[in-house]
Amino acid sequence: MIDIIILTEEINTEFTLSSLVNNSENFRLHLFNRRGPLIDNMQPTIKWAMKNFREVYSYQTPYRFRGNGSNRMARTLLQFQEHWKDKQPSGAPIERVIVHTRGARIFNGSFAKNIPTVRQMGDNYVYFSRTNQYFDHPFYGNYYTILDLPNKKDDYEEDFLLVNWKLFKDFAPQHFFPNGKATRYVSADAGEEGKLLHDTDSFILSAKNAALFNNLKKRKHSYAPLYFDMTVDDLIKKEAIGPKDTINHNIMMRKAFSTKLESIELFSQYHDMSTLHYMAVPWDMWTSLIDDIPLPIRREGINERLLTKADKQKKYLRQVVEAGYKLGKI
């Protein structure tokens, strides 16, 4: 059994759920929904999930903001841990947990073939996903420094984790907080300004990514292989990688267990993107999921842009292959 935690977002979550809706493997969904007016926009998506997946749990977070500095990973994990600290879901116990807190992620591969068993995870608390996908490349690895991009071997993605719940369930809550202590928060809601929040809400809001990740790195951990989480690398966004390797990156994304796009990449018109960035993304992986999204929650404007990008990319790649064949390169 795999437990998948998703911090829900408009548009992005619909693609994630669509990539899972025809998957017959054993997994449970845990949907974390931000409080405030935006929760109403997510209700149709939540209802769709409830009707089409075997086991779904829905949670309301004590926060609204999910942007940079929102500590969304730490807060989501702490709320999940607090909820299940003295109980288990129906069926199989929680053992392996995938946590996804940002972006239009799609799951493209088999859980059984790509996620280690509890025994294989051993004493590792978590598996991190690397931020830079070419950090150890003999040629491109130097480009991060040249372009003044961070490039350390242990740089990790803060919005995607594989957690060994057998160990993490006993991870003390103080490890989520700076100096090991929670902070008392006051309400910012209209009409309740200045009132102290409930203890549980303050407890969850006190969790900080920096504290969580610093404490996790002090414990035994490992890094997931590249195919576990493929994104568009910063070197491609800056057009620092050649066309051939950009197309290879496109192929790697197609073969990956999971791939993710940022919202801005979904929204962008093809002519507003750099050529290599546009060519690196296998757009048809996202357009192929549109039909499984219920009509009332499909986003016509976004889908039209995705379909246009996929169509133009297909035509361009065909021309590249034909030219390469004539030149004897392919």
The predicted structure's pLDDT at residue 189:
56
pLDDT in tens, 251-294: 999 999 999 999 999 999 988 999 899 999 999 999 999 999 99
What is the pLDDT at residue 106?
A: 96
What was the pLDDT predicted at 195?
59
Domain-embedded: residue 300: no
102 in a structural domain: yes
Tell me the pTM: 0.91
Per-residue pLDDT at 79: 95
290 occurs within a structural domain? no
The count of other CB atoms within 10 Å of the CB of residue 186 is 11
Position 270 in a domain: no
Residue 304 reports pLDDT greater than 80: yes
pLDDT grade for 191, boundaries at 50, 70 and 90: low
Q: Let me know if residue 239 belongs to a domain.
A: no
Q: How many domains does the chain have?
A: 1
Averaged pLDDT, 228-252: 91
Q: Greater confidence, 186 or 160?
A: 160
**Residue 284 included in any domain:** no
Q: Is residue 31 pLDDT above 80, yes or no?
A: yes
- Does residue 203 form part of some domain? yes
In the chain, what percentage of residues exceed pLDDT 70? Answer: 91
What pLDDT score was predicted for residue 138? 87
Instruction: Indicate the pLDDT class of residue 200, thresholds 50, 70 and 90.
Output: confident
**Cβ neighbours around 57 below 10 Å, total:** 16
Please give the pLDDT value at position 93: 92
- pLDDT, mean of residues 9-27: 93
Mean pLDDT, residues 105-124 taken together: 93
For 54-89, the pLDDT digits (tens) are 999 999 998 877 767 789 999 999 999 999 998 888
More confident residue, 324 or 205: 205
pLDDT at 186: 67
CATH number at residue 156: 3.90.550
Supply the range of the domain harboring residue 182: 2-232
User: Is position 104 within any domain?
Assistant: yes
